[in-house]
Structure 1
Amino acid sequence: MSVVGTICQNSFQWKIPNFFDLNVNRGDCIKSPQFTLIGKEGIQKMFHLDLYPKGDEDADWVEIYLIPDDSLNSCTVSYKMGILGKEENLIIQIIQLKDYTFLEQNDGWGSRKFVKIQKLKSQHDIVLPNGTLTVLFESEGVQDKPKDPTMSLVDDLEKLSTNDDFTDIEIHCKDIKIKSHKAILGSRSSVFKAMFTNQCKESQTGCVKIDNMEPKVLKDLISFIYSGKVKKLEENVADLFIVADMYMIESLTDVCGTYMMNNLTNENAISYLILADSHNCKMLKEAAMDYIVQNIADFMEKPEMKKVSHELVMDIMKGVVKQNNK
């Protein structure tokens, strides 16, 4: 059973008994117990080590990686790793890394060539006393990496979308009301911009009435306008695609179109094809068409095919003929 023991703050030993008798194959990974790295101002982050006793990419080498177990929001770690020998002295210092930045959970870093397996075998009396491999990990601690200024701006704008401060327009959609900012809506959508200029009633009344979409879709639309992000896009991607096109927000149209294109199934390909055709989205139309052509046997008896226009059906048939002639 492997054990991690603390020597002092940010210094750990990982003991792996019976190292050469481990029941592992090439590509198999063993994980150390978790340990904590502590930085200045009390910052603490949980990590573990992943080790490949018989290698992964190269069967001649043991591989090792430091893996974060916390949600990091970007942090920087300096560390070194080595192997302790018979007299508890450092036999091999394998890795020394300065200021590596972990960007997200499970983003690991280490060495594909930690130590050569043949070297462990030839020096096993010194390097593996009693068959135990001891990895020494030492770190200067962990530091939060300053947030990228662009991401800070995005986060601040996202917060603004749920804050009533300085709002100057109210959007009514069925049973909900959303307070917003003309400058932001108008800068992201030419349709909204037109509403707030040229003495339009929306600008004069300070109210926009929208009844042709569901409140959930409107909330996602406003969220994207402020932050450029959509949470749980899969829940209403087709509806968002329609309103993005309606309000001429090209970046959201692209996001939705790309998502649908990458998530085509037998259940949605026909509806996505019709949607793309009616909104002149070439990339989605071609992707959905190709998917249907490649799986034509699954679509011939589908009732939804009756909703496909004659022109699209002809295009599908041409694609099938072309495919069969290859």
Structure 2
Amino acid sequence: MDMDMEETLTDVVQSTKQFKIGGFSVTSTMTNVEIIRSKRWNVAGYDWEVRVLPKYFSTVQRCDCVALYLHLCSEAPTHSTVKAKISCRLIDSSGKLKPYQGAVEPCVVFKHSGEVKYLVFLVERDTIHSSGYLQQDDSLIVECTLTVLRVVSDRSCAAGRPENDLTLSSGLHNHLGELLQKGTGADVTFLVSGESFRAHKAILASRSPVFMAEFFGHKKEESSHQVEINNMEPSVFEATLRFIYTDSAPALDRREDGVAVAQHLLVAADRYGIDRLKIICEQKLYDGIGVETAASTLALAEQHTCSRLKSKCLELISTKFEAFMSTEGYKNILMASCPSFLTDLLKAVHGKRN
């Protein structure tokens, strides 16, 4: 019996690139959300950016870290997604030290252009000088390997494929989302303003240091099968749970209230130490800030230590100061509850006019 040749259904495209962060010691003056962007990196036909946070404060490690995340610049294929993973390590150019491997993250799904995935913690800042990886010219060399999954499709077959045919599974996050929705095996119930949400302690703890301490720490609640959540809307808590399980927050993409959702989710992310969600919300607010939302966003940026976002707010306000002063946000938020911002506002306006 003749045996047909094997058919390749998928393969991967892999590329490795080194990034040099010069003047590393000077990056200690950067804020915890300031980023350094790489040039665009084309892998598997898609453009990517590596964005480095040289001084990111991790609520998990409770210290400043060198971290990075991956940004998809190209559009994802219609009715499909881009699946990729990145691994990073520190390199000693002298060759005396073996490469230092940072956290290795699982493969994730990019659904559209501009989507941010991963928050890879590479190394704690305090350990870099003693580690030997800081080069003599005060630079840090990071080597990143990007792996992109490619589906080798049969075009003639795809053209006649029925709409209800099976497609490539998007994997773990979808299954966890179904687990959250069905509540199978849930061992904790959250009560939020009269609404209840069932969840799984182990999953929550794996994603949030706050839940880890609450459910499994030394001060864990003896009777933690039912937890009441105060000072949060049910829809915000539900969206936070969804992000914990699926690593996505589709509510942020709504045109009518995406900015308002980002403001509420930023507060929740900071409350529960979900660093990636906080970064995504900061970027959403940074990109969507306007005169009407500047006051509320500025107040949030100050309260939750988002210095890059705060600077963007002040920059916008300084260029449109008169229009800003007539907004309800200025009257009801800054003047009523945050008068200390007036000094920063006046400095920003004065600096702009000079």
* TM-score where L is the length of structure 2: 0.49
1:74 Cα shift?
5.8
Residues 264-314 of structure 1: CA distance to partner in whole angstroms, max 9, x if unpaired?
Answer: 111101110011111111121111111111211212344533443444222
Does residue 230 of structure 1 match 2:259?
Answer: no
Verify the 8 A CA contact 1:245 1:279 in the aligned structure 2.
yes
Taking the aligned partners of 2:347 and 2:288, their CA distance within structure 1 comes to 24
Paired residue secondary structure (2:223) = helix
Q: Secondary structure at the match of 2:292?
A: coil
What is the CA distance between 1:209 and its match in structure 2? 1.2
- The 8 Å contact of residues 238 and 256 in structure 1, kept in 2 or not, is answered as yes
Query: 1:225-264 counterparts in 2 under 5 A?
Result: 225-233=244-252, 234=258, 236-264=261-289
In structure 2, the partner of 1:147 is 168
- Structure 1 CA distance, aligned partners of 2:180 and 2:297? 30
Superimposed CA distance per residue, residues 224-282 of structure 1 (whole angstroms, 9 cap, x where no aligned partner): 11011112221522121111111111111111111111111111011100111111111
Residues 74 and 224 of structure 1: is their aligned pair in 2 closer, same or farther, counting only changes over 3 Å?
A: closer
Unpaired stretches in structure 1, ≥5 consecutive residues: 1-69, 76-102, 106-138
Distance 1:291 1:247 in 2: 30
Q: Is 2:226 the counterpart of 1:207?
A: yes
Q: What is the total number of aligned residue pairs between the two structures?
A: 194
The answer to whether structure 1 residue 72 and structure 2 residue 101 are counterparts is: no
Structure 1: which amino acid aligns with 2:303? S
SS at match of 1:208: strand
**Partner of 2:303 in structure 1?**
278
User: Structure 1: how far apart are the matches of 2:183 and 2:324?
Assistant: 49
Rounded to whole Å, the distance in 1 between the matches of 2:187 and 2:111 is 37
Instruction: Report deviation, 1:73.
Output: 3.1
Q: Gapped runs of 5+ residues in structure 2?
A: 1-76, 83-109, 113-154, 253-257
Q: 2:204 aligns with which of 182, 185, 208?
A: 185
- How many angstroms apart in 2 are the aligned matches of 1:197 and 1:178? 20
Verify the 8 A CA contact 1:169 1:206 in the aligned structure 2: yes
Q: Which has the higher contact order (CA 8 A, sep 6+)?
A: 2
RMSD over aligned CA atoms reads 2.9
Give, as a single letter, the amino acid of the residue that structure 2 aligns with 1:288.
C
Residue of structure 2 equivalent to 1:220: 239
Matched, 1:324 2:353: yes
| Cα 1:304–1:104 shift into 2, 3 Å | closer
Aligned-pair identity (%): 28
Q: SS state of the match for residue 305, structure 1?
A: helix
Task: List per-residue Cα deviations over 1:109-154 (Å, max 9, x = no partner).
Answer: xxxxxxxxxxxxxxxxxxxxxxxxxxxxxx6342789637xx4112
